[in-house]
Structure 1
Amino acid sequence: MKNRLALLTFIAIVTLWSCNGISDDKDGTGQPENTQGMPTDTAMQGATPTTLSEQETKFAIDAANGGMAEIQLGELAKSNSKAPEVKELGRMMIEDHSKANEALKIIAADKNIQLPAKASEDKQQVAIQLSSKNGSDFDKAYIAQMIKDHETALQLFETGQQTVKDSTLKAFIDNTLPVLRKHMEHVKTLNKLK
């Protein structure tokens, strides 16, 4: 429920941010005006989505790639594990990373970034390797992979928190980083149980 509320809040902020400067005042033409007095349709003509720096674009692509991989591996956890706690971890990865990826897709559309449609080849290879395992063998390999992946994700997002300047992307980082930290703590707890 908290994650849904956070996503809805984020979408509302993005929507309000994208409408910045537009008011409902009439200029006598029957059209809403922006704060400069130009009708909204005129103000929107020729408008292009804002773009991110090369570094910010790379962050968004890397974040989407990692998120898609976590979803794919979460699906494997649901089918290949026998342990309820590992299946639950897989479910959590699917749910949380799907929400994050949907929020990132909204930002990417606004910022004119083409996110990958599927996880990278190296991430696909990890999924292939894990798919050949079942039961406790799968659980050990999956938990080890989750630790590795979340170490990488935390490094990506913590660096992004320091280097990303775009306010919308920065808000995405600030909202996602606590979830990634929660995942890491949960995975470490499971690692102690194996």
Structure 2
Amino acid sequence: MYPVEPDGSGPRQWAPRRRRMLPWWVILAAVLGVVLGVPSFRSALSSAAGLPGGSANGGANAANTGPATGYAPGAGSTAQQNQVQVAATAAAPAGTDLPAGWMNTATGPLGPADREFLTKVRQAGLWEGPAGQMAQGRAADERVKEVGKQLAADHIGLDQQVREVSATLGVALPDKPSDEQQGWLDEFSSKTGADFDLAFANRLRAAHGKVFALVSSIRSGTRNDLVRAFAQTAVNVVMKHMTLLESIGNVNFNALPTPGLPAPNATKATPAGAWRPDAVWAVAGLALIVGAVAAFRIYRGTRGTRRSPAY
């Protein structure tokens, strides 16, 4: 005998007994936590979807973190330098997307700031070397003559190195100083004695302070291994020259630019039209929540009316 309905209308229809499950919102929260909170899972999904943060950018990241070539401009044998130049001019890895104005090299991406750095170092040598030579015949203070001689000698070596690096990377360099630098040389040529000493120390100290800001910035952030190695050399030379010029004793520090503090909580601006991964994931998460809630309501409504077949 099968049990019948209380009203005797026929066999009782049994609804399946519900199993105890975690609340739906707990399951949904766990899924969202995995998707949005685990970096490796986000990276895998980003790679599959072609969003920033996945392996699509692996080429650029590998170029940034790849091993250095060990190139030290001006050091080692000519054969070693030739080997580095051959490696740097070899075919760069393909498939790496770079912003406008950048180019791939075997030693890493080369950007506009890198080329500007090489240009500024070249121009510095084109006027500081002649200025140091002028000091030998126009300065009154023997210390000025000594400093001028050291600056001229250092820039001969630095100029050779910057030309080697630039030739390796295919960067065109100027063959004369800027108009402002030429004006300083003209000023030096019109002065002698104490007037020359004062102009020499202050003009060159101020110029070194300006170029040091660029050189240290490149050393800190360049993506190119060859440029980074040369920037380290340039940092050392510029710091040495600032110390030598200050040792003359007549630098007017009050005339130098006042150092400024970085803006608090400064954030790097996102280029127009660029993907914003956080915004993409926020929208994806919201869509997942809405879809899960809608699916759960449909499922619950259907489950409430479903019955097992009568026996």
- Give the TM-score of the pair, scaled to structure 1: 0.75
Normalized per residue, the structure richer in strand is: 1
Answer whether contact 1:160 1:173 (CA < 8 A) is retained: yes
Q: 2:150 matched to which residue of 1?
A: 92
CA distance in 2, matches of 1:185, 1:67: 18
Q: Cα offset for 1:13?
A: 5.3
Answer whether contact 1:14 1:168 (CA < 8 A) is retained: no
CA distance in 2, matches of 1:98, 1:176: 13
Q: 1:179 matched to which residue of 2?
A: 237
Q: Where in structure 1 are there 5+ consecutive unaligned residues?
A: 22-48
CA distance in 1, matches of 2:186, 2:176: 14
- From 62, 66, 75, the counterpart of 1:8: 75
- From 100, 105, 124, the counterpart of 2:182: 124
Moved over 6 A (4+): none
Q: 2:246 matched to which residue of 1?
A: 188
Q: 2:306 matched to which residue of 1?
A: none
Normalized per residue, the structure richer in helix is: 1
Amino acid at match of 1:124: Q
Secondary structure of 2:127's aligned partner: helix
Aligned residues: 164
Q: Where in structure 2 are there 5+ consecutive unaligned residues?
A: 1-71, 89-104, 253-311
Q: Cα offset for 1:171?
A: 0.5
Q: Cα offset for 1:191?
A: 2.1
Q: 1:63 matched to which residue of 2?
A: 121
Answer whether contact 1:11 1:103 (CA < 8 A) is retained: no
Q: 2:200 matched to which residue of 1?
A: 142
Q: 1:27 matched to which residue of 2?
A: none
Instruction: Please give the per-residue CA displacement for 1:14-60, whole angstroms capped at 9, x wherever unaligned.
Output: 43323449xxxxxxxxxxxxxxxxxxxxxxxxxxx868322211111
Q: Compare CA radii of gyration and give the structure with the larger one.
A: 2
CA distance in 2, matches of 1:90, 1:110: 30
- From 111, 124, 128, the counterpart of 2:169: 111
Secondary structure of 1:191's aligned partner: coil
Instruction: Please give the per-residue CA displacement for 1:84-111, whole angstroms capped at 9, x wherever unaligned.
Output: 2111111111110111110000011111
Q: CA 1:54–1:74 in 2, change beyond 3 Å: closer, same or farther?
A: same
Answer whether contact 2:201 2:250 (CA < 8 A) is retained: no
Secondary structure of 1:9's aligned partner: coil
Q: Cα offset for 1:6?
A: 7.0
Q: CA 1:67–1:10 in 2, change beyond 3 Å: closer, same or farther?
A: farther
Answer whether contact 2:219 2:231 (CA < 8 A) is retained: yes
Q: 1:17 matched to which residue of 2?
A: 84
Q: 1:157 matched to which residue of 2?
A: 215
Q: CA 1:20–1:117 in 2, change beyond 3 Å: closer, same or farther?
A: closer
RMSD, matched Cα: 2.7
Amino acid at match of 1:17: V
Answer whether contact 2:73 2:229 (CA < 8 A) is retained: no
Amino acid at match of 2:198: K
Secondary structure of 2:247's aligned partner: helix
CA distance in 2, matches of 1:115, 1:6: 17
